[in-house]
Amino acid sequence: MSDWTRPHHLPEALEILASAPGQYRVIAGGTDLMVEKHLAPGRRPDAWLDISGLPELQGLQITEEGVQIGAATSLGVIRRHAEVVAHWPMLAASAAVTGAPPIQNRATLGGNVCNASPAADNAPVLLAYGARLEIVHHHGSRWLPYGDFHQGYRKTALQAGELLSALWIPYPPKHSRGYFRKVGTRAAQAITKVSIAALIEEDSDGIIQSARFGMASVAATPCTLPSVTHYLVGRALRDISEADVRHGVKQDIAPIQDIRSTAEYRLEIASRLVLEAISMCGKSKQED
């Protein structure tokens, strides 16, 4: 039988982790880890650290600069939060497609990040919004851009004794438009085949000032599209070439073939989603 420890506050949790580096598997909502427990019983750890009840990791705080979200805040709370819906609608949308409502009421944003799946539903949005992560340990804390968190397949920047405590997301640029879409086998409760989040900012002349993308299920980790971004910035929508965008997507992603899709399918769908994101953000601008 595995040991189950449930600390009452964050300092206690960090002391436990520091006292036995690498021994504990951290669990919050458990919607991914409980499935893993049954599918691969031989990989169960000897000790679990349940952080679901830590008050320091709960809730959302809206500031003048953005929103700070406790790592153990449920996706259900996030998708229903009025300020998130108003200012970070892509985050509300991604939370709303992460499993069914009962899953969302238990699953946490921090857990979705730390599970480090390349198909994570919320990862593209966090990349597009430029999220930062607060990582804590027994002797202090550090901040890390979310784009630096994933270091390989199921590998993160978390070190022994560290916990993800909060995620901070700035307000989007004033004249930016967002686009989020998840492609799966079904309309709901499906593992992602390809998903995208895009945040594109234009000036009054229609020139793209910034373009941030996040994608999932197209590489070993959730990824951005640096080649596409470099191509778009400084150009007007009318001057964008479909062939050049497709070339950039092909440079930026490395899809694999698995039980859900072929690599060719993922590359084609990813290219279409990027083109649709560019087009839709431009239409939103024209409709204002």
Each residue's pLDDT tens digit, 110-168: 999 999 999 999 999 999 999 999 999 999 999 999 999 999 999 999 999 999 999 99
pLDDT given for residue 73 in this prediction: 97
Judge contact between 233 and 227, C-beta under 8 A.
no
Total Cβ atoms within 10 A of residue 89: 14
CA angle (63, 165, 222) in 5-degree steps: 95
Those residues of the chain that have pLDDT short of 70 are 1-2, 31, 33-45, 185-190, 283-288
What domains does the chain contain, in order, with CATH numbers? Answer: 3-50+57-170 (3.30.465.10), 176-287 (3.30.390.50)
Please provide the distance, in angstroms rounded to a whole number, between the alpha carbons at the two ends of the chain. 60
Amino acid at 68: Q
In 3-state terms, what secondary structure has residue 141? strand
The whole-angstrom separation of Cα 123 and Cα 213 is 11
pLDDT given for residue 254 in this prediction: 92
